[in-house]
Amino acid sequence: MFRLWGGISRNLGRSFSTTRRLRFLPGAATPFEQEEEQRESQGNSSNGSRQILLKAGETAAVMIASLALLGLAGLCYHRGYLWHTHRKVSMAFDGWDEDLRAYYKARQAASLCDWVERDQQQLVDDIVSGKLIGRYYMLFGEKGTGKTSMMLSALAKVENFNVVSVEAHADPEIFRIRLGKALNFEFFEDYLGSLFSIRGPRENTAIMDIERALTVLEQVAILRKRKTKRPLVVIINSAHLIRDDEEGRNLVELLQQKAETLSGLGLATVVFNSDDYWLYERLKKLGTRLDVIATADFSRSQAIQLIKSSRARYFGQNISDIEAATVYHLVGGRAQHIAAVTLHKDMIQACHKLIDKEKQWFLNQCGLLGEDMDDDVMESGKFSTSAMTLAREMVRIYNHNISTASPMSDAEDPVPKIPLWRARQIMTRPDYIQDYDNLNIFTLDSYSRVKPDSMVMMHAFNEIASMPGFDELLEETMDRVAAIESLGRTREIVLKDLVEGGKYKFDGKYIQLEAPEENDHDDGDGHLLLDEGDRFYWKRRVPKGLLNSSKRHEPSH
């Protein structure tokens, strides 16, 4: 038994030693180790793939988060920018600051129109204060009738609250800049959305920028209407400066469309302030909510009150009604002219100088050239003869009116008014009247009636038409224009070597040349006398009744 156990022990020891020798042989591995190494290699490969996927997912998550954060930041900036833009535009309607308030108060105090109550002042006050909703307006009248003064008076009463004013211009680019400044709108020029890859408003023409500004104005008007319950008021001054060309017509059409929309919704009231009639013709074509407010010169009683108040304020003088009526007869009821002459020490002399200046202006623009006019200036001849023909007809009507009216009565203004269609017949031209209006020679009222630009210009017409030789010079110029036009339509045949008494035979008939009779011409007889002294006409401008009365009331020096 011991022998058996010993044999087993020896065999086990031999086997164990063999195993140990096999195990430590270089490059040799047991099946268990090989299996374990295989499992480890498979685990390492799977761990590497998992780590790659984890890193890729982490990178993608970071990128998505960055893009989302960038997009969110861009969206927040865009929303914030629009809110800031609307806030700035809304602040433009909050009223005057201290500097502007002092400036407008001083300008309003210097205006003469506030001393006399105008018939249209209450209507303008209701428009500016927002009481009238659903219409837009055109404030129309000749230069110097007090349109701007009425607006300033209405703005002062509301402290410019809910109102902006912008000056028009012939160039749409300049009007764009002025509109942006008035609305406190920068046309997205400070937009930084490109930093977030957000495309901003594209650049284009001035008309497109004006459309964007008016769109923002509409959005702001909706917000302010909820708070104030009143519409905004946008005043466009000097709207007559917008040219009557393609760009100008597009601009007027755009402004009128927005005015129609905003007034129809009750969000804003647009007021066009114009000196010329022709803007009204452009607005009338598409206007359904348009109302016209016509301003005219002061009546005789209002003008006399204004003249006396002005002299009492500036010179401390209490002038008589006769003296004030004399000034009114010379310059009429135009507020601009009354303000100009009442600031002079000698009002009558200032009136005469003002008439002389207007007469020279008319002659410089429409002077007649006579029969010696060159054929290259035929268009100028047509322009001058048309103006002088219309002026002569107005002088005839004026003399008839003044002969039937008393100079001391407060009757209708004796300044003649001719319908537009009739004025075109008199001139035989339909297109010149707009140029005359732009030159402040003739003007049109809201009823399409042509009249002199002012009473001062009417006196200039009267003196020019009463000059010796005026009718002859006008006829000579018209004949010369007709002759030049005839030359353009005539084909001449020149026959050489035809002496006096010679004959040419044409189809059995004879044409004989006869010498014309020589007539003596005095070159100076047919010309208009323009060298008369200015003072020659001064006494003729004032009616005899007013002249004698004013002499009796002249203060002694």
Phi first, then psi: give them for residue 356, nearest 5 degrees: -60, -40
Q: What does the pLDDT average to over 38-67?
A: 77
Least confident of 182-191, 459-468, 487-496: 487-496
Does pLDDT of 367 surpass 50?
Answer: yes
Cβ-contact 158, 94 below 8 angstroms:
no
Does pLDDT of 513 surpass 80?
Answer: no
Does pLDDT of 549 surpass 60?
Answer: no
Q: How many CB atoms lie within 10 A of CB 50?
A: 10
Least confident of 34-38, 118-122, 185-189, 464-468: 34-38
Residue 98: pLDDT band (50, 70, 90) is low
The C-alpha atoms of residue 239 and residue 364 are separated, in whole angstroms, by 27
Q: What does the pLDDT average to over 252-262?
A: 95
Q: What does the pLDDT average to over 451-474?
A: 93
Does pLDDT of 297 surpass 60?
Answer: yes
Does pLDDT of 21 surpass 70?
Answer: no
Across 469-539, where does the E strand assignment appear? 503-506, 509-512
Residue 471: pLDDT band (50, 70, 90) is very high
Does pLDDT of 501 surpass 80?
Answer: no
Tens digits of residue pLDDT in 315-327: 888 888 899 999 9
Q: What does the pLDDT average to over 508-525?
A: 52
Q: Looking at per-residue confidence, does 553 or 195 come out higher?
A: 195
Q: Secondary structure of 137-178 in the HEC alphabet?
A: EEEECCCCCCHHHHHHHHHHHHCCCCEEEEECCCCHHHHHHH
Residue 233: pLDDT band (50, 70, 90) is very high
Residue 8: pLDDT band (50, 70, 90) is very low
Token pair 């393609």 is found at 246
Tens digits of residue pLDDT in 180-194: 999 988 887 766 766
Does pLDDT of 164 surpass 80?
Answer: yes
Q: What does the pLDDT average to over 428-443?
A: 91
Q: Provide the token pair at 46.
A: 């799977």
Chain mean pLDDT for the chain: 80
Residue 328: pLDDT band (50, 70, 90) is very high
Q: Provide the token pair at 442.
A: 């003739």
Q: What does the pLDDT average to over 380-402?
A: 92
Cβ-contact 368, 526 below 8 angstroms:
no
Residue 115: pLDDT band (50, 70, 90) is low
The C-alpha atoms of residue 484 and residue 478 are separated, in whole angstroms, by 10
Q: Find the farthest-apart pair of alpha carbons in the chain and give their distance in angstroms, rounded.
A: 188
Cβ-contact 280, 315 below 8 angstroms:
no
Cβ-contact 316, 344 below 8 angstroms:
no
Domain boundaries in the chain? Answer: 90-295, 318-481+526-552
Q: How many CB atoms lie within 10 A of CB 168?
A: 23
Q: How far is CA 418 from CA 277, 365, 452, 466, 524, in A?
A: 15, 22, 10, 21, 35
Does pLDDT of 101 surpass 70?
Answer: no
Secondary structure percentages of the chain, helix, strand, coil, to 5: 60, 10, 30
Residue 200 DSSP one-character state: -
Q: Looking at per-residue confidence, does 196 or 307 come out higher?
A: 307
Supply the pLDDT for residue 99: 59
Supply the pLDDT for residue 110: 56
The C-alpha atoms of residue 76 and residue 86 are separated, in whole angstroms, by 15
- Range 90-295 has CATH code 3.40.50.300: yes
